[in-house]
Amino acid sequence: WVGVKPFKKNKNFQRMIMDFLTNMKISASGLAVQRKRMETISSNLANMETTRTPEGGPYRRKDVLITALPLENEFGNTFKNELGDKLSRVQVADVIEDQSEPRLVYNPKHPDANDLGYVALPNIDQMTEIVNMVTTQRSFEANITALNASKAMAIRAIDLGR
């Protein structure tokens, strides 16, 4: 630790570092949500042809319900920016099942065909899932970019504070 200067005992400097940590917490919550969205999309794509589930009937498409929550610090106070606006993080509120009817496909030789020869298949549209996957990937990348930018700014601020 020889030659390392101690941080300045400056409230503005400490507040600035906390603001960078706040940015990182918000970006990290976005990463977690996008990871869960990707898991759900993967499950939907993997089960496009699943006709039997433990609940009975075909697999039902899943979707992630996302909610914004106020960002709170360790003391339970809500962070506010200079304008007084409350900052929010995101969180997965629930994973919901699509309640629309399954697709009926005529295939009388399928073991799950009904008396008329129709098989109930999951209500999953492959193109919709792929679009959702690309959107999720871009959102994940945007959160990584924001996280890296906050990290770089914090490192630069620490260097200036020495």
Residue 5 has pLDDT above 60, yes or no: no
Which pLDDT tens digit goes with each residue over 94-152?
A: 999 999 999 999 999 999 999 999 999 999 999 999 999 999 999 999 999 999 998 88
Q: How far apart are CA 110 and CA 116, in angstroms?
A: 12
Q: Would you state the pLDDT for residue 154?
A: 81
Give how far the C-alpha of residue 31 lies from the chain's centroid of Cα atoms, to the nearest Å: 5
Residue that the structure tokens 């020495």 belong to: 162
Local confidence band at 75 (pLDDT 50, 70, 90 cut-offs):
very low
Please tell me the distance from the alpha carbon of residue 59 to that of residue 124, in angstroms, as a whole number: 9
Question: 63: which 2 tokens?
Answer: 């979707």
| Nearest by Cα to 63 from 96, 92, 30 | 96
H-assigned helices in the chain = 11-46, 126-161
For 34-69, the pLDDT digits (tens) are 999 999 999 999 999 999 999 899 999 999 999 998
Degrees to nearest 5, angle at CA 148 with 8 and 11 = 20
